[in-house]
Amino acid sequence: MAACWSLACRRLSRLSLLFSLRSEQAPLPPCLLSRFCSVSSVSSGASDLLVNSLRAQIEYEKKVSSLQEIVHPPNQFRLVEKADAQDIILRRTFGKEDIEISCLYSDQTYGDNDGEEGFHPPPNVPMKMVQMTIKIFTEDREPFLEIICCTYGDHATIESVLLKNHVMKLKEAPFEGPDTSLLSKELKTGFLQYLEARGIDKELSKFLLKYVPQQMQQKNACWLAKIEGFLKT
């Protein structure tokens, strides 16, 4: 009786060891394997599609840039090249004044007005605009005059006129100037003439409307290339 019981125990031990080895060597169930492969292939395919799309867009931007006419600012202005800067910056001196102009380009687009057929841009509305933030410094450097002006090529508008300091010396924000809507038409015209005397005129406006979009296109290409490099790492 004892011998039979001992034999049965040894058989059970061998069976337990056999099942244990098989379970350790058993492959993943087919459903889990297929799901893992599916996720991996979808992720890889999406990344490849994105990188290819980026490469195509980069090549397009470079091709368009290479075909554009090279333009130069009026002689009295010099460009400050900053590849990663959002703005396009020009500088010049005028007598004892130092003038800095920071430019941003805006291309107004009009869609189909939520599907309405026959929708067109309003008449006589300029499609392209450059916003100039003009800072005029005297020998003392502060306060300085900051004029925000929008140019559409043939005409310009005064958006803001402020007298500012580099460092806030008061705990409360100082009064820098009134709302531009409170300025008379004659006063705004006077500020435009003030800018024209410093070379900020139609000639500069026409240059900016050509040059700033070109530079923004090059900046876009550089940004796309950085995104491509990030995705490939």
CATH number, residue 190: 3.10.280.10
Across the chain, what does the average pLDDT equal? 77
In a domain, 206, yes or no: yes
Percentage of residues in the chain with pLDDT exceeding 90? 31
**pLDDT at site 124:** 61
**pLDDT at site 75:** 87
Give per-residue burial for 85-118: e unless 16+ CB within 10 Å, then b: eebbebebeeeeeebbbbbebeeeeeeeeeeeee
In a domain, 62, yes or no: no
More confident residue, 215 or 196: 196
In a domain, 23, yes or no: no
**Worst-scoring range by mean pLDDT, 44-58, 149-163, 176-190?**
44-58
For residue 140, count CB atoms less than 10 angstroms from its CB and return exposed for 0-12, middle for 13-18, buried for 19 or more. exposed
The enclosing H or E element of 69 equals none
In a domain, 88, yes or no: yes
Look at the chain and report how many structural domains it folds into: 1
pLDDT tens digits, 132-150: 999 999 998 889 999 999 9
Nearest alpha-carbon partner for 177 in 143, 140, 129, 139: 143
In a domain, 103, yes or no: yes
In a domain, 1, yes or no: no
Q: What is the mean pLDDT of residues 37-62?
A: 74
Cα 56 to Cα 42, 120, 168, 169, 204: the distances in Å are 21, 31, 48, 52, 34
pLDDT bracket for residue 179 (50, 70, 90): confident
pLDDT tens digits, 75-133: 899 999 776 778 899 999 999 999 999 999 888 665 555 555 555 656 666 678 999 99
Number of separate helices (H) and strands (E) present in the chain: 4, 6
The range of the structural domain enclosing residue 176 comes to 67-229
Cα 119 to Cα 5, 18, 87, 123: the distances in Å are 95, 78, 33, 12
